[in-house]
Structure 1
């Protein structure tokens, strides 16, 4: 009878399973379509062109009450009740998790996106807040009586099927940063469910408590407290022509993966081709985060009833005589509430995963699974909280992993797993199970698939350009010529593909062509600022300008903004006359010590003013002329005038005037400008003149 089945579940569930699915295998980059179980983003940018799962199952078991030595338990005569170690607590808890992945497949839609379609059957049984003393009471072989004092326990058993579709794509691929995201949408079909919860529940069973007369007795049950009991419609019937209940829903999984790729340049060809090297893991560190199993299944025709179960000395025969638990409860206890339809939450969980690529084949994975469903939520399945550290050896056709896990209520576990082509098998606790005298967990998974891997690119000619991108895949050639060999006919070091003059040698900086001199001015075009117009090498190959158009080039024109005459170095006569007068007005004030060519100090300012005037005409040349009066001998006057003219010239040169612009000459007493008969006239004749050379 089904009521007996339920009692077995209720009483033995503390010894059932409590763990996650595929521990170790899901850390593998070659887990393929299985990757959607923990994070739907995993299938994007995967190592597969396609992956087909034929069949696979994962079953896990543990409890926090009984512990055994597996080797001892296999021998004949082992007594579970007597030899198993117990750990009774006020709130022992346990669960079962069976996960079957049916025919499923994944494939790439584009270079940036992938899709998966999967089928899955799952079963969970959760039991929380079971009083360990109640179990001890049942185990007591000294008496058939026992007592339950459960307080606020809750029990849930649920199985369902899933059909899901996953879409994942690359969201960011920029240098060393890579991000992908994915989502799974699942249609859920409830297969079976029942749950019960209690508040202040106590039960006393007296094996001989009811007198049947004639010296015969049967057990009696005394209970108190309140319980809620829910189940799908056909759970209480004895008709084994099973039909699935009217129960369905939708679920969602969401996930993202970030990869740090410090050597991203190694995975791009030099011609900026979009080739992705999908056969390689390109990350140094990968971090994934996901939330799975968001949703619920609505049991529309389900029955949920609440009871006050306070009653004394209910006969065991009365219990045995009822057809089902529901009838028994309604007959002997007070129903306080009833409702049709209820929802069962999926085991929503948060997963955080970090994977360190040590050397391309050896990896270290840190994974955490954290239930987002509280133990107090009586309508929710939940996974066990777990942290695992998994070193693994991973290649294309083979992987081996050793998960080291700490699981909620079960402590530290060690397991092994491997993938060999189409076969995957493993356990998250096999080493611990066979190596402990107090083992409270066992799990195993196995399956077959058809993997279709991404292939490494081929380079038959070994020129560093993959065949798909090589215009000459059988003959080596440079990247610049798309993998084809290149000639250099003129042997100038510039390959013909880059040489604009492939038959005439020329430098690389002129694209393989010899330098030209188009205007034939003796300045090569590479150095000629005016390559189309002949000019002077001094002026970078450009002709000298004549801004004022007076026929005197600017370089020789003392008045480049005013038209003048060639005789006046490009200056107009009026300018020359003004310049000459200014210079001579200054020169007349130059004083010498008497009878010598030594310039008096007070004349230095005058000479400085003369220098300023000369700098305004940088291209003009001048002559410094010395004159004397007729007093003294002719020879002495001639010598003195020469000396004084050269003294002025030397001063000007010393203070910055180009010596090539100056000349000096003495005329003695030969060019008087006044009579020497009088003192005033002789003073005018003793002079220095600075004249423009025309």
Structure 2
């Protein structure tokens, strides 16, 4: 009896529940979909586009009674009774916890929200308030008899599967303040459960208290107290084709929030010339991150479960009767008095509060402080419970590799130190491996490992290496300046002046005028680039400046034959001199005038220009002869055009052509003071400009006697 009892206690005590699965790994910003385990808000604004967990398992072991040197304990000659360290008390606790995360995934719905779907299989066993001195009494080698004064105890174990859906969203993103929240809804499928709790329980074992006759004896057990025993009926069936029952389901939920302080938030945002921002998704942005969550709110209803109450007060129960019973249910119902029975009970999940703080020393080094507090009392029946824990975890973290060393103080287990790493799709670690390898009094151990398919947020690319990331580059395959959003400067008006330097990008103009056409500020038909007096109306013959009148006699210098002497207009700016008697001058008659104009109309010019065609030289020579016949007569040479083209250009062309005829006549012997020239453009037509023949008549030069 003693050996059986000790074996059961030792096996059960080899497991210890802790506050969270995957210790160390869950502090990693690259834990991905696993983040929903501790706080559902973790999955939004993460470093992942998507994350797929293939399989992962986390198992914890330990107790607060036995402590061992693990390296010695694996040797063949290790004796747990002699070599293990024992810490008996009136309130020893034993528990176990396993967490298997099956196929699960998370992905981003948009910039502000994410979703995760996950599957988990979990089991929890809690044995609370066991009198540890009982084990010492049973293990006393000096006698086979023992008396146990257990008092009250509470034992509960269950296993279940979860299908969870998590939604997380950014709630606040204002400069250095960032807040996100998340909610998980879980469908729970119970796989089995059993529990027992007792009040005022005592056991007195007399190793030879029951006579069998013929001088033979067996053990005798006397006991007092009350025991409640419940179980889900299929939990104990030995059926290798076990199916999950329909009448053991429930719902659960997790709720969490994460606040990030981002004093350097501007360093993680790029803005193009249009003012469009891009936030770097691949980088952590916080200096301090604070998390708060409540997990495992809910329960499982075992509708077909059985709950029975017993008064175990009895004396002289034969040990053989206990050994011959099929199970605990058979022992209680055959040897003790049933005081009550119910069908169906509810099992509560291990509800817990999680408080987390993460400090970033740099982009790679962090330290995390995590506290997990059970919201379930040890005395609560039909309820799973976690152990309270405080963990400090320094870590190195990058996209493809992380390493962490968690140091934890765990309720009923004391101080533990571990290590873990993540490298690409593999994660593996333990929250206690360093303690296990170095301590002579190890009361707990854990390990986890798994595989996943991570798809990380990529660093923004710049394919054309122009300093503008592709997300903001209007021309991602062609290099261009930042101020033009990554596109090369164009030349809309094709005037060879690029648009960034062209002050008139849609109107062609010379480079000398910054891509704008030359203007005519004073409206004298001389463009500003050649007008030496751009703000004063002048003459084309004088480079856009007005002709001066040096002697102020009313005759412009260009016409004044005595520039520095006041004269009269009639005498071409010279003082009047008494004329000498001269012979009467020949008079220019209307017939002569008509002959001159008939000749003048035949003068031909190169198209659109003021240059005279060579074939007109003969006509001009005849005109020279006529003018020389009247040496004192003055003539006005007048240029005219049709209405094709702008008035300004036509006036300029007619003026140039009249001046060209004047220049020819002077060069061929006609006194320049006898001639004036002027262009009238299209203002004096002699025929209808609507017909080609009319326009031909209007394109002419006239030579008229000056009046």
TM-score, length of structure 1 as denominator length: 0.70
Q: For 1:142-181, list aligned pairs within 5 A.
A: 142-181=142-181
Q: Does 1:224 align with 2:224?
A: yes
Cα distance in 1, alignment partners of residues 296 and 372 from structure 2: 13
Partner of 2:75: 75
State the shift of 1:144 in Å. Answer: 2.6
Stretches of structure 1 that go unaligned for 5 or more consecutive residues are 521-694
CA-atom RMSD in angstroms: 2.9
State the shift of 1:35 in Å. Answer: 0.7
Q: For 1:197-216, list aligned pairs within 5 A.
A: 197-216=197-216
Cα distance in 2, alignment partners of residues 512 and 35 from structure 1: 62
1:147-166 alpha-carbon deviations (Å, 9 max, x no partner)? 32111110111111111111
Partner of 1:404: 407
State the shift of 1:295 in Å. Answer: 0.1
In the alignment, is the contact (CA less than 8 A) between 2:42 and 2:258 conserved in 1?
yes
1:120-145 alpha-carbon deviations (Å, 9 max, x no partner)? 10010001100011111222233333
Partner of 1:295: 298
1:387-431 alpha-carbon deviations (Å, 9 max, x no partner)? 111111011100000001111122211100000101100000111
Distance 1:278 1:238, change over 3 A: closer
Cα distance in 2, alignment partners of residues 504 and 270 from structure 1: 35
Distance 1:469 1:238, change over 3 A: closer
TM-score, length of structure 2 as denominator length: 0.68
Distance 1:81 1:366, change over 3 A: same
In the alignment, is the contact (CA less than 8 A) between 1:144 and 1:207 conserved in 2?
yes
Cα distance in 1, alignment partners of residues 46 and 499 from structure 2: 45
Q: Does 1:27 align with 2:27?
A: yes
In the alignment, is the contact (CA less than 8 A) between 1:255 and 1:290 conserved in 2?
yes
Distance 1:238 1:281, change over 3 A: closer
State the shift of 1:514 in Å. Answer: 11
Distance 1:188 1:6, change over 3 A: farther
Partner of 2:14: 15
1:335-386 alpha-carbon deviations (Å, 9 max, x no partner)? 2221111000000001111111111011111111111111111211111111
1:541-568 alpha-carbon deviations (Å, 9 max, x no partner)? xxxxxxxxxxxxxxxxxxxxxxxxxxxx
Moved more, 234-243 or 357-366: 234-243
In the alignment, is the contact (CA less than 8 A) between 1:103 and 1:118 conserved in 2?
yes
Cα distance in 1, alignment partners of residues 102 and 465 from structure 2: 44
Moved more, 5-14 or 47-56: 5-14
State the shift of 1:503 in Å. Answer: 4.3
Q: For 1:555-566, list aligned pairs within 5 A.
A: none
Cα distance in 2, alignment partners of residues 140 and 6 from structure 1: 13
Secondary structure of the structure 2 residue equivalent to 1:54: strand
In the alignment, is the contact (CA less than 8 A) between 1:506 and 1:513 conserved in 2?
no
In the alignment, is the contact (CA less than 8 A) between 1:101 and 1:121 conserved in 2?
yes
Cα distance in 2, alignment partners of residues 502 and 433 from structure 1: 83
Aligned pair count reads 515
Distance 1:238 1:60, change over 3 A: closer
Partner of 2:258: 257
1:28-87 alpha-carbon deviations (Å, 9 max, x no partner)? 011111111111111111111111111110001111111111111122211111100100
Partner of 1:248: 249
Distance 1:498 1:261, change over 3 A: farther
1:487-520 alpha-carbon deviations (Å, 9 max, x no partner)? 6989899644996888478999xx9999998999
In the alignment, is the contact (CA less than 8 A) between 1:500 and 1:512 conserved in 2?
no
In the alignment, is the contact (CA less than 8 A) between 1:397 and 1:421 conserved in 2?
yes
Cα distance in 1, alignment partners of residues 397 and 504 from structure 2: 45
Q: Does 1:277 align with 2:280?
A: yes
1:211-237 alpha-carbon deviations (Å, 9 max, x no partner)? 111122111111101111111113455
Partner of 2:679: none
Stretches of structure 2 that go unaligned for 5 or more consecutive residues are 525-707
Secondary structure of the structure 1 residue equivalent to 2:12: helix
Residue of 384, 395, 401 corresponding to 1:381: 384
Distance 1:504 1:146, change over 3 A: farther
